[in-house]
Amino acid sequence: MRPLIVAQITDCHLQNNPADDYRGRDVEQHLNAVIEDLRCQTPAADLVLWTGDLVHHGAASGYNRLRDRLTALPLQSYWLPGNHDAADLMLALGGPLNQRTIVDQHWVILLLDSTSQPDGMGGGYLASQELNFLAQQLQTYRDYHCLIVLHHNPLPVGSAWQDRIMLGNAAAFWQLLAQYPQVKGVLNGHVHQAVEQQHQGINVFMTPATSVQFKAGCQQMTLEDASALALPAYRVLQLYPDGQIRSVIKRVAC
Ligand SMILES: [Fe+2]
């Protein structure tokens, strides 16, 4: 049976002025290359999840440019905020992009805002209303397989500087998920590198950025120096009717 095909694009870090670079990279060009690759996918994705840090300075100019690209795509997009985003502005500008519960025949996808209690360093936190929303949705959709999507990583990745700014209340998040065995996957951005782990029997997928990648296993922020891993990237997931998830990272030359 055909799986639901979900693309994840994350950490675009668009600048206010599209001519400005981010850490030496032309992030507009990177994003265009990723979108072009996505458009050429066979079979085509059914939907796209944009998982935060979509712009770098939380300003409308970047969101407007991004929204123009999304509305030109032949498939539906949904977005959620990261620590660089302005969640209120996204709500105001995004319209249907802000839908937080996506229901398919066998799967439900839940989008969370992990940008509560900003620490000024990039760390994340799920507000109590987010945890309540998650619990209520999981209760409602007990008979569906579930993929949970948020910006911040709920598990450490082994880089000291990044593990200090992961999801701050990850313990509460995992404690909640332990009550709902229909959760099959968790999907996040924020780490700018590819990571796949299992926790409590749940697959956790972390995805490289379209903008720049961070090198794994570092004490301090270090840009990826392996040319193949430094390319802009995104993830494609196949969600099967039996609850299995298959996933690949797509790295895009540009
Ligand atoms: Fe980011």
Band the pLDDT of 176: cuts 50, 70, 90: very high
Neighbours of ion ligand 1 (CB under 5 A): 11, 53
First to last CA, the chain: 35
Strand, helix or coil for residue 233: strand
* Mean pLDDT in residue range 14-37: 96
pLDDT at site 241: 98
Mean pLDDT on 237-246: 98
pTM confidence score: 0.98
Q: Which residue has the tokens 């065995």?
A: 181
Q: What is the CATH code of the structural domain delimited by 4-251? A: 3.60.21.10
pLDDT value, residue 181:
98
**What residue ranges in 81-232 does DSSP mark as E strands?**
101-103, 107-111, 145-150, 183-188, 195-199, 202-206
The predicted model gives 233-250 an average pLDDT of: 98
What separation in Å is there between the alpha carbon of 144 and the centre of ligand 1?
31
Distance CA 97, CA 94 (A): 5
Distance 31 CA to ligand 1 centre (A): 14
Q: Give the mean model confidence (pLDDT) for residues 224-253.
A: 98
CA 2 to ligand 1 centroid distance, Å: 32
What is the model's pLDDT at position 248?
A: 98
Cα distances (Å, whole numbers) of residue 35 to 75, 118, 122, 174, 194: 12, 30, 26, 33, 19
Instruction: Return the pLDDT at 217.
Output: 97
> Where in the chain are the domains?
4-251
Does 101 score more than 90 pLDDT?
Answer: yes
Residue 55 forms beta bridges with which residues?
A: 14
User: Does the pLDDT of residue 187 top 90, yes or no?
Assistant: yes
- Which amino acid appears at position 31 of this protein? L
Cα(210) to centroid(ligand 1), Å: 9
C-alpha 250 – ligand 1 centre gap (Å)? 18
Rounded CA separation 51/149 (Å): 7
How far apart, in whole angstroms, are the C-alpha atoms of residue 90 and residue 128? Answer: 20
Residue 197 Cα distances to 7, 17, 35, 194, 203, angstroms: 19, 37, 26, 10, 6
pLDDT in tens, 189-232: 999 999 999 999 999 999 999 999 999 999 999 999 999 999 99
Tell me the pLDDT band of 254, cut-offs 50, 70 and 90. Answer: confident
CA of 108 to the centre of ligand 1 (A): 26
Question: Cα separation of 63 and 81, whole Å?
Answer: 11
Q: 110-164 pLDDT, tens per residue?
A: 999 999 989 999 999 999 999 999 999 999 999 999 999 999 999 999 999 999 9
**13 C-alpha vs ligand 1 centroid, how far in Å?**
7
Please state whether beta strands 145-150 and 195-199 pair in parallel, antiparallel, or not at all (unpaired): unpaired
The H or E element containing residue 48 is strand 47-51
* Ligand 1 center–CA 163 separation, angstroms: 14
